Chains A and B, each alone.
Chain A
Amino acid sequence: MKLREFLQKEIFLLPGLVGLGVFLYALIYTIYMSFFRYKLGFTEPTFIGLQNFVSLFNDEIFRTAVFNTIYFVIVATTLELLYGILLASLLYWSKYRYLFLPLMLVPMLLPAVNIVVIWRFLLHPDYGIVNIFLKSIGLSPIDPLNDPTWAMPTIILMDAWQMTPFVMIIILAGLSTVPREIVTAARLDGANKFQLTTKILLPLTKNVIMAVLLLRLIDAFRIFAKVQLLTRGGPGIATETLELQIYNRGVRGLEIGFGSAMSVIFILLAMVVIIPYMIMVIRGWRR
């Protein structure tokens, strides 16, 4: 009887559990390997205890990468959220919403590599449009990608240029679900559009805003292609991030043990935003 029930229900989960189980195993394997010295194709794994972690803590480049990753996640997400709320509110009241909206979504739909190429063209020190414009109004040209102070803010700006539409469209969809009667009633009571937006519409959309915040936080950890192709972590180590370190020193360097230790720290950081998201989805899907 038990088997019969299993064949009717739980067996359907099996393919997914096996497939995802491989990744869970990869996670456990990563933690295990972080205690080994293991150069792929050169040495067999040797147990070295916490030595990988000790080297990481004393490694200035790695510490910078950790700092940059956290800095990017916090600043980019905050910027995109605030800017996205602003744009969604403007669009909500705009008569030309259907004209503006599709155009504004384009960057979000373009792959990261294309975005990088476009920004390289824009910011080229000699031929970029930005500098052509600056020179034409008599200012001196800029080269932010080769400036340690400005490289990271430029990457954040580029990410915001691409991903703010994502925040915007979801919040706009949330605003649009607020019943018309509430809006009409508040208008009759003399509320202006600004009051209506900040006091009524946005508070009613707070679940959506929370969800989009979590999604952006999670996504902000994965800025690999943009940074790797735009600055390669430079100038110097100004834009090193955790994914860049894992890719370049771990995998490209074939240092599986050392790379695993970096991944462990990376995963621990990411879990801070992943766990609330897991709870949110489990609550939302429970029938």
Chain B
Amino acid sequence: MASLSDAILVIIVLSVIIPLGSLILISFMPPGERTFPPVHYTLDNYFYVLDKLKFYQNMFNTFYFITLAVLISLVISIPTAYAIARLPINYHLWVLTVGLVILVKSLPPGSLLVPIYDWLWRLKLTNTPLGVAISYQVYTLPYTIWLLTSFFLDLPREIEVAARLDGAGSFSRLIHVILPISIPGIISAVIMNYLNLWNEYMYSSVMVSSSRYQTAAVILGQMVSSEYVVEWGVMAAANVLSIIPALIFVSFVQKNISRAITGGIKG
């Protein structure tokens, strides 16, 4: 009875596992070989990627840029999300702010690439970590405000009442009441930003031309586009390495993942 639908599900699961498994197998394929499945296995590709290409430096760049971007976004987002979710603001101003958050969050990043590149170039901020982090705000800022707002909205109304009766102002309620219980929400927001931006390609490749600040995604992109020059095994090994941090980020937010994706859509 149920076996037909389970059989379909098994096929679909296989369609996921086989491509991923083949990537891992290829990453152990010796240089010069191009048969699948590989006949011999070796760790050389991993040594090459880390030792010769210094891929860990690119991965560190990615990590560094995202960290900067997330810090900027958090400072801006926490008070803003708090006001959207919990303060009795003038309605028109509220709609304007929410509309702006959703607009920037939904615009395709490519549609803002031209002015942002123009400005950062003229400010001499291209090829600097700060410049990349500023350009990443296209992704991180609206997303962080949006996610934190949905977390703050779900906190019970009553929690601020006692503090308000004690005469605490909005700022001290945010610091002493809201923030301490929102740590898990803030941590998921941070990790989701890492996950979303881990292989950001468009802005990372445009904002940086010097090899010193190239991110892991850009290096992978270069390998893919020069497929016939780069060994398959090397490309696969770099890929496997770059997937590992992404999986670590996911493992941190497992419980909250579906809400972090949807912002808590209600049925």
Contacts and interface: CB of A to CB of B under 8 A. Distances in A.
Contact of B239 (A13, A14, A114, A218): A114
A113 B221 contact: yes
- By secondary structure, the A interface counts as helix
Interface residues of A, number: 98
Interface in B218-254: 220-221, 223-225, 227, 232, 235-236, 239, 242-243, 246-247, 250
Contacts of B5: 90, 93-94
Interface in A171-204: 173-174, 177, 204
B117 to A, nearest CB: 5
B201 A229 contact: yes
A30 B111 CA distance: 9
Interface in B47-104: 75-77, 79-85, 87-90, 93, 95, 97-104
B93 A10 contact: yes
Contacts of A40: 117-118, 121
B193 interface: no
A250 B108 contact: no
Given A118-B23, A224-B202, A169 B80 contact: no
B94 to A, nearest CB: 8
Given A17-B97, A106-B20, A285 B149 contact: yes
A251 B117 contact: yes
B137 interface: yes
- By secondary structure, the B interface counts as helix
Contacts of B247: 109
Interface stretch (A53-61, A74-82, A95-103, A147-155): A95-103
Given A23-B107, A207-B267, 18 more contacts: A8-B169, A9-B170, A15-B75, A22-B137, A24-B100, A27-B112, A91-B9, A117-B224, A121-B236, A211-B262, A222-B110, A224-B202, A243-B108, A247-B206, A259-B113, A270-B107, A282-B95, A285-B84
Give the top 10 A-B pairs by smallest Cβ distance, nearest first: A16-B80, A111-B199, A243-B110, A12-B83, A225-B201, A26-B115, A259-B114, A15-B76, A12-B79, A274-B106
